[in-house]
Structure 1
Amino acid sequence: MNWIAIAALNLALAVALGAFGAHGIKSFASPEQMAWWHTATQYYFYHGLGLLVIGYLIKQGMVNSTAAWLIQVGVLIFAASLYAMTLGAPRWFGAITPIGGSLMVIGWLWLAFAAFKSPQL
C-alpha cells in the first residue's frame, strides 16, 4: 500500500470538500451544519498530513502500516458521518462519529507505541 499516495488523495479530497463547503452548501446549510462540515474537513486535512508522515516512516521501514490503517478508516468514518449529517442524514448518524474518532486516537497511540519500540525513531 502506498500511504504517501493515499495521504495525497486525502489532502486533495480535503481541499475539494472544503471548497464545496465554502461555496456549494453555504446557501442551504444551517450554522450547525456548516460547523459539522468545517470540523470534518479540518480532520481530513490534519490526518492527511499525519498520514503523509506515517507513509514516509513506513517507506523508511521504521514502522508498519497498522497506525495508517487505523487512522485512515477512522477519518473516513468520522468525516463521512459529519458530511452525511450536513447533507441531510438523520442526526442519529452522529452516533457513528465517535467510532471514527476512537479509531484515529487508537491509530495515533499505535504509532506512539511503535515509535517507543523502534530503535530508529
Structure 2
Amino acid sequence: MENLRPAVKTADIACRSTAVSLCSLPKQGLVYFMESLHRWYAAGSGALALAVALGAFGAHGLRERLEAYGASIYEKAVFYHFVHGLGMLLVCLIASAQVVSVPGAKRILLLLLAGLVLFSGSLYLLALTRIRWLGAITPFGGTAFIAAWLLLMYELLRYSTPQQ
C-alpha cells in the first residue's frame, strides 16, 4: 500500500487540474481502487502466463497421451483461456481510462475469471481425464464469458451517453 502513495499524489494533482470522475472518491477509495485494479492486472497476467504454460505442456508433454478428440478439447481450452486472459487486461485498461464504472469493471472481471475457471478448467479436466460429465460444466463458463462481454458493452454504452 505504501508504494501507491506517489500514484495517489499524482492522481490528486490530476484531480485538481481536470474533471476526473475518480476525484469524487475519498482518498481511501482512490487508493483502494488503484490497489484493487493492480491485483486484477496481476490476475490477468497470471492467467496469460498459465495459458502459455498449459499450451506448451499440451503441445509437448501430452502429445502421446491425448487422442485427437482430447487434443482438440485441450487446444480449445487453451485458446479461450488465452483470449479471456487478454480480455481481463483489456478491461483493466478500460477501467484505468475511466471509460467504465469501477463496480462495473469489477463485475466484468469476476465474470471473466469465473468463465476461465468453469469453461477452460472443465475442458482441461475433460481432455485429461475423459470424464464426460465435466462437459456439463463448460456451458456455465461460456455463459459467464458472454455475460462479461455483454456487461462491458452495457457499461461502455452507459458511459458514452452524456450524464445530465
TM-score by length of 1: 0.93
Task: Tell me the distance in 2 between the aligned counterparts of 1:53 and 1:113.
Answer: 16
Cα deviation 1:5-32 (Å, max 9, x = unaligned): 1111011000000000001111111100
* Structure 1 residues 40-68: Cα deviation after superposition (integer angstroms, max 9, x where no partner): 00001111111111011222333231111
SS of the aligned residue for 2:98 comes to: coil
Question: Structure 1 stretches (4+) deviating beyond 6 angstroms?
Answer: none
2:40: which partner in 1?
3
Amino acid at match of 1:44: H
Q: Which has the higher contact order (CA 8 A, sep 6+)?
A: 1
- Where do residues 1-121 of structure 1 align in structure 2 (5 Å cutoff)? 1=36, 2-63=39-100, 64-119=105-160
What is the rounded CA distance, in whole Å, between the counterparts of 1:98 and 1:30 in structure 2? 23
Unaligned runs of 5+ in 1: none
Letter in 2 for 1:111: L
Identity %: 37
- State the distance in 2 between where 1:22 and 1:55 align: 30
8 Å Cα contact 1:3/1:54 also seen in 2: no
SS in 1 for 2:125: helix
> What letter is aligned with 1:94?
G
Query: Which amino acid is the alignment partner of residue 108 of structure 2?
Result: A
What RMSD, in angstroms, separates the aligned Cα atoms of the two structures? 1.3
In structure 2, what is the Cα distance between the partners aligned to 1:86 and 1:113? 35
In structure 1, C-alpha distance between the alignment counterparts of 2:128 and 2:121, rounded to whole Å:
10
Q: Which amino acid aligns with 1:47?
A: H
Please tell me the residue identity of whatever aligns with 1:54. Answer: V
Q: How many residues align?
A: 120
Is the 8 Å Cα contact of residues 51 and 68 (structure 1) preserved in structure 2? yes
Within 2, Cα distance between the matches of 1:88 and 1:45? 22
Greater helix percent: which structure? 2
Unaligned 5+ runs, structure 2: 1-35
What is the CA–CA distance in structure 1 between the aligned matches of 2:98 and 2:43, rounded to whole Å?
Answer: 18
